[in-house]
Amino acid sequence: MTSTPDNRAELGYEQARDQLVEIVQKLESGGVPLSESMELWQRGERLAAICQQWLDGARATIAAARGGDTDS
């Protein structure tokens, strides 16, 4: 597996999401050896966390722009 950036500063939301989709497709195909599946799963967990950080940041930005109103 190739080395790719794992943190939010180096990987945009769309990049992380696209890589996560690829990993899910590989894992769902069932044709990946167990050791590689485990590596893919761990990478997927990191990518999911990066996506969540981006979404949380966007949510906070919107809340701040609305004056802290997060119920709408």
3-state SS track over the chain: CCCCCCCCCCCCHHHHHHHHHHHHHHHHHCCCCHHHHHHHHHHHHHHHHHHHHHHHHHHHHHHHHCCCCCCC
Q: What is the pLDDT of residues 24-70, one digit of tens each?
A: 999 999 999 999 999 999 999 999 999 999 999 999 999 999 986 65
Does pLDDT of 1 surpass 70? no
Kindly report whether the global pTM for this prediction surpasses the value 0.75: yes
Q: What is the pLDDT of residues 2-24, one digit of tens each?
A: 445 555 568 999 999 999 999 99
